[in-house]
Amino acid sequence: MKTSRRQAAVACCGLATMAVVPLQVRADTYPSRPVEFMVPYPAGGLVDVAARILGERFREALGQPVVVVNRPGASSMIGTNAVVRAKPDGYSLLITTSTLTMNVALTPKQVSFDVLSDLAPIAIVATTSQILVVPATQPVRSVRELIELAKARPGKLTFGSGSTGTPSHLAGEQLRSLAGVDILHVPYNGAPPAMNALLAGETSMLFSNLAVAMPQVRAGRIRALAVASPTRSALAPDVPTMAEAGMPMDADQWIGFMAPRGTPTALIQRIAAVLNTALASEDVRAALAKSGIVAEPSSTPASFASVLRQDIDRYRKIVRDAKIRLE
C-alpha cells in the first residue's frame, strides 16, 4: 500500500519540537467529541452496514458516539470530496470501496483530487468477492469448459453487468483479456436486473457479488464456476478460484477507512488499531459475514496504500485495453 508524502521540514528545530507536541496530545486525548463516518453510498448497502457495525465498536473502545453520514452521488464522489476538504483532525473519516480507484481509471476528469496524496489510508476493514456464475441450463460446469465454449462460438456468448464501468463489468473484461475470448458485454441498469437476465437465460455468464449469487446457486437456479479472488472465500469454500482454473484473476472489492491528508500519523495509527481490534472479534466477523463481507483484521496504512497504487494501475490497464469510455 502507499506511503504518505512527507510534509516539508520545519527549518527551526525549536519550532519543529513545538509542532510535534500538540499532535501527540491530540492523539492521546482523541476523541473528545463525536466522530463522523462518511459513507458515500445510500443507507442499507454493504458499506453502510460495515460502518454501523464498526461504528458501535469504535464508540465502545473510545467512548464517543459515531455518527454515520450517508452522502451518495456522483459515483461516491460527493461524500468523498466532503472528507477531502475536512479538517485533518480524525473527526471526519471516509469509509469507501474500490469504486474510488475505479473512478480514477474510468472518469479521471471527475476526480478533482489525488487519491494517493489527498487522502490518508487507514486500513482495509473488509472485502467482498465476485463469483462467476452461469445459468443452470448452461451446459458448462467449469471455467475451462466455459472458455472452450466461448472460443468455439466467438462473439456469441455474453456477460452481463450492473452497468458500464461497474465491478462486474471490469471483471468480465479481465476474463475476456486473460482467456483471449470474444464475449459481448451487456450492461443493465443495476445488479438486480443483471441477475434477473442471467436467471432468464438472456446472458451467458455474470460476475456477481458472492452474497447475492449464493442463494440462487443453492436454489439450483444458477451454477457457480469460480470466485475471482486470490484464495477461496470463507463464505463459499467449495467454489474454486479463477486461478485454480488457470485464470489468475483478482476482482475482490475492498472496504476501507481513509482520512484527509495531513491527519497526524499518531491518530491514523490509533484509529487503525481500534478498527483491527474490532475486526478480530468473532461477533463482528459473524455480523459482517451475514452480509457477505469478509473481515480483514490485519491491514495497515502502508499495506492499504500499496493496494491503492496497485488498484489504480490495474484498473487503468483494464479500461485502456477494453477501450471503456465514460466521459
Mean pLDDT per 10-residue run, the chain (327 residues)?
33 35 60 97 94 98 97 95 97 97 94 97 96 96 97 97 95 96 96 96 96 94 96 93 93 96 96 97 95 94 97 95 84
Name the nearest CA neighbour of 136 among 218, 17, 247. 218
**Which CATH number is 130-245 given?**
3.40.190.10
Could you tell me the residue ranges of all domains in the chain?
13-126+252-322, 130-245
| Residue of 230, 242, 105, 123 whose CA lies nearest to 167 | 105
* Class for the domain spanning 13-126+252-322: alpha beta
Q: What is the pTM of this model?
A: 0.87
Q: Give yes or no on whether 13-126+252-322 and 130-245 have one common fold.
A: yes
Which string of b and e fits 97-136 if b means at least 16 CB within 10 Å? bbbbbbbbbbbeeebeeebbebbbbbbbbbbbbbbbbbbe
Instruction: Tell me if residue 187 falls in helix, strand or coil.
Output: strand
Predicted pLDDT of residue 7: 33
